[in-house]
Structure 1
Amino acid sequence: MRTAAKLELDAGTKTFASGLLADLIDALRRSRKGDLVALISGDPSIGPDLEAWCRFTRNSLVDVAVEQGRTRWVVRYGETPESVEDRPVGSRLWLYTNFDCNLSCDYCCVRSSPKAPRRALGIERVRRIAVEAAELSVGEIFVTGGEPFMLPDIGEILAACAAAAPTTVLTNGMLFAGRRLATLRSLPRERVTFQISLDSPTPERHDGHRGKGTWARALRGVELACAEGFRVRLAATVSSDAEAEEFRSFLDAHHVSEENRVIRRIVLRGSATQGIALARADLVPEVTITAEGVFWHPVGAEDKDLLVSHDIFPLAESFAAVRRAFDRENEHQRRLAMIFNCA
């Protein structure tokens, strides 16, 4: 999907040595912090100069695509807010067990839907990951998709993860019936947390993103998981500070504690047509594993710019590869990396 930009700047035959820099600065002067500016050129050699300029000026290169033989770079004006959290690389491990889903959310960062190929990680790989994660002293494991409860072996997957570290499963909470309910009931309450998506205090906004009737079904899933004795986090994906504050008030009124709430912004990746544009340099890495390999962060777990390695094992080397990549980012003495909480 093409990343939309506020301004489109055609470089023509210009380079940084022949007037392009002045045009780029003028474009940013006509923009506000956070706006996206696209630069298009038939000369791919502009890329390294543009990347170096972005690092020097503390802007971010958030997308690169080739269209009809010409390269289109998208630059975000200004850096993301600095995070105050300190989370060591490797302390949290994310597993995308699958990419198929029972819903087609319009902002899904990995394009999950009922039509998406499953691309399952598989129980055998999960078991090996869990064993090696325990050896690496991983503090938390997060299981996500797609919808993990689409998988017939999700119980075995969660049991393997929970044996290695406290495990949170991200779910829309709508499939807790029949054999899936039996699976839920078989899980260890003290080691498994459910993070269930609920985007708004009332159905309209949530259903607008996820489909008619989904808010009520998600709420039933929350109530069921709580009744079964599990810790439940509520997670809202919002498009504005006003929506975030509205949801906080809703959680306050229902006495949901801070540690059981996640409020995050829509990210301009995957299916989203608007949201926060995040580049790799903006994100503190959280090791993320899919069937395709090891990624920098769960918000871009199918995007080439966040792919670290196609090789998952040994897990220690996967972690080392992410740390090396992060060290290279830090060599530029920038402070754009941020925590973007998915859980």
Structure 2
Amino acid sequence: MAVILDLVEKLSATAEGDTITLPITTPGQAALAASWCQRTGNTLITADATSITVRRGRPPDPITDLPPARRPGARLWLYTNFDCNLACDYCCARSSPQTARRALGVDRVKEIAKAAPAAGVLEILLTGGEPFILPDLDQIVTACTAALPTTLLTNGMLFRGHRLQILQAMPRDRLTLQISLDSATPDLHDSHRGKGTWTKAVAGIRTALGEGFTVRVAATLTTDGQHEERELRSFLDSLGITRENQVVRPLAHQGAADEGVELTVQTLIPEVTITADGVYWHPVGADNAEQLVTRDIFPLDAAIELIREQYRSHRNTADSAARAFPCA
């Protein structure tokens, strides 16, 4: 009971939201402190073999501080496959023509889509790899759009022959096609994605617009220059892509990329991502074992809640550390 007496004494002299750290000698003391915190409305932040850190009071829920559309689980990413017709040198999933497919499969996508609305999902996003490699992509898209608004990511280069027919068979309502284009002229785009890919991607954008789809264009900028971004946006304006459908993001140091922004579980707001291997923290980390949260996709609501709880824990720990180390 000594640890409880110490907690009562120390916390009574502590402001709401501040933390204290106490030494412990047995695992039982940590369990006792956790139980006491649960009963008294305080928060056990960390516990190890030698100490516990406790916050006075309950922290605010970091999830409710986020806009509803950005809360963990609001957007559900599905890696339909990992193989691709391209081998971009900064691909976060290391996709290429030689990469194993690792497909989710139609049946599993249907099960996920059916469970998604009840789990609090507001939008499904399909990515890869290159989804248009899959012969049953139209069935996957139909299942997802029947459940929720859906975004399909593609490099836009395969819209011909049978794959054009698959595109034409897709619903226009509740479906957005997101096509990758990294620059306003071919040189920069092609230097990362392959010679001739810029021309094919632009043709794909025009085809998708001509077929009546809502088109979003996403660019990965490998330079810090604002000039390149301005030129790109101006070019997208000329294609008829609205500003709200122009996504410009920095290069992430993930997968095949040798440089870029460092993104970790601790620094990323999670966007629940499902692959054939399990549930990941974020789509940029779906090739990163450190971002694997669980191999159990189902029940879907439990997998999403697990990520939410981990996010709360990360944020509360970070906030407590910030309060415990004031700069003045």
1:288 aligns with 2:273: yes
2:255 aligns to what?
270
Q: Deviations over 1:216-259 (max 9, x none)?
A: 00011000010000000111100233133332333345553222
- For residues 266 and 245 of structure 1, what CA distance do their matches in structure 2 show? 17
Report % sequence identity.
53
Q: Deviations over 1:92-143 (max 9, x none)?
A: 0000000000000000001000000000001110000000002224211100
Helix, strand or coil: the match of 2:151? strand
TM-score normalised per structure 2 = 0.74
1:307 aligns with 2:292: yes
1:341 aligns to what?
none
- For residues 163 and 91 of structure 2, what CA distance do their matches in structure 1 show? 23
2:134 maps to a residue whose letter is L
RMSD: 2.0
- For residues 187 and 231 of structure 2, what CA distance do their matches in structure 1 show? 14
1:222 aligns to what?
205
2:20 aligns to what?
none
Q: Deviations over 1:27-56 (max 9, x none)?
A: xxxxxxxxxxxxxxxxxxxxx9xxxxxxxx
1:30 aligns to what?
none
* 1:290 Cα deviation from its structure 2 partner: 0.0
* 1:274 Cα deviation from its structure 2 partner: 1.2
Helix, strand or coil: the match of 1:143? strand
Q: Deviations over 1:47-93 (max 9, x none)?
A: x9xxxxxxxxxxxxxxxxxxxxxxxxxxxxxxxxxx99661111100
2:268 maps to a residue whose letter is L
Q: How does 1:138-157 map to 2 (within 5 A)?
A: 138-157=121-140
Report if the CA contact (8 A) 2:119-2:304 is conserved: no
**Equivalent pairs, count:** 255
Of residues 62, 68, 84, the one that matches 1:101 is: 84
2:218 aligns to what?
235
- For residues 240 and 263 of structure 2, what CA distance do their matches in structure 1 show? 32
1:171 aligns to what?
154
* 1:335 Cα deviation from its structure 2 partner: 10
1:317 aligns with 2:286: no
2:25 aligns to what?
none
- For residues 149 and 288 of structure 1, what CA distance do their matches in structure 2 show? 19
- For residues 89 and 183 of structure 1, what CA distance do their matches in structure 2 show? 31
Q: 1:251 to 1:169 in 2, by over 3 A?
A: same
- For residues 335 and 207 of structure 1, what CA distance do their matches in structure 2 show? 46
Q: 1:154 to 1:254 in 2, by over 3 A?
A: closer
Report if the CA contact (8 A) 2:190-2:198 is conserved: yes
2:267 maps to a residue whose letter is D
Of residues 177, 182, 196, the one that matches 1:199 is: 182
- For residues 169 and 214 of structure 1, what CA distance do their matches in structure 2 show? 19
Q: 1:176 to 1:284 in 2, by over 3 A?
A: same
* 1:334 Cα deviation from its structure 2 partner: 3.6
1:210 aligns with 2:193: yes
Q: 1:335 to 1:300 in 2, by over 3 A?
A: farther
- For residues 175 and 253 of structure 1, what CA distance do their matches in structure 2 show? 23
Helix, strand or coil: the match of 1:280? coil
1:229 maps to a residue whose letter is G
Larger radius of gyration: 2
- For residues 92 and 207 of structure 2, what CA distance do their matches in structure 1 show? 27
1:300 maps to a residue whose letter is G
1:90 aligns to what?
73
1:297 aligns with 2:282: yes
Gaps of 5+ in 1: 1-47, 49-82, 337-343
Q: 1:84 to 1:319 in 2, by over 3 A?
A: closer
1:331 aligns to what?
316
Helix, strand or coil: the match of 1:332? helix
Report if the CA contact (8 A) 2:152-2:176 is conserved: yes
Helix, strand or coil: the match of 1:282? coil
- For residues 288 and 316 of structure 1, what CA distance do their matches in structure 2 show? 13
Gaps of 5+ in 2: 1-47, 49-64, 322-328
Helix, strand or coil: the match of 2:317? coil
Q: 1:235 to 1:288 in 2, by over 3 A?
A: same
